[in-house]
Amino acid sequence: MTTDDTSPWLVVGLGNPGGEYAANRHNVGFMVADLLAERMGARFKAHKSRAQVVEGRIGPPGPGSRRVVIAKPMSFMNLSGGPTTALRDFYKVPTGHVVAVHDELDIDYGALRLKLGGGDNGHNGLKSITKSLGPDYARVRFGIGRPPGRMDVAAFVLKDFSSAERRELDYFVDRAADAVETLIVDGLDRAQTTYNS
């Protein structure tokens, strides 16, 4: 990720718009985006790219801070690539400065893995972004675990977190937001060392 330090960053929290999806496992990217916006003291505004966006800075005041756009695509998960590409072009963000925050079935609940590039692992949001941008963007993968028994994967991701999971959800979302900030300010290696579990 050797891009110019002055280039802005684009953090895309993945989810589905609408109140009925708000607490779903699939919407954890939106939850992290909401917390990052709250930390910046900013409110989401509609953008012509079919996304809600917040612009601000992350990191210590002065030369160490980074210009960041936090986005929540309003296009539904499997069409996330269109708004993401439109935002990247509008804000002139290098692809290496795009960060997708998303739920991940193959990681235990609450665990995080950060990486640059790679496949989509069957995740429709990533599939759509990769189709539009190519694979060379960063991912903050938030573990939601596998569905119990024979539950269908699609049904599982569109269910709300269980009451047991909700007890720790705020802590895990907070940790994921910290991981995004570390990635942007200190780089991927430092973020992986600190947060990959």
Q: 């193959």: which residue's tokens?
A: 106
DSSP per-residue codes, 71-110: EEESS-GGGTHHHHHHHHHHHT--GGGEEEEEEETTS-TT
Distance CA 137, CA 95 (A): 6
SS3 68: strand
Which of 26, 47, 97, 102 does the annotation list as catalytic?
Answer: 26
112 and 195 Cβ atoms separated by less than 8 Å: yes
Q: 């024979």: which residue's tokens?
A: 150
Which residues are CB-neighbours of 88 under 8 A, at least 6 positions away? 10, 95, 98, 133
Q: Where are the beta strands (DSSP E) in the chain?
A: 9-13, 45-47, 51-58, 66-73, 98-104, 112-116, 138-143
Catalytic residue status for 26: yes
| Torsion angles phi and psi, residue 74, rounded to 5 | -105, 20
The catalytic site residues sit at 26
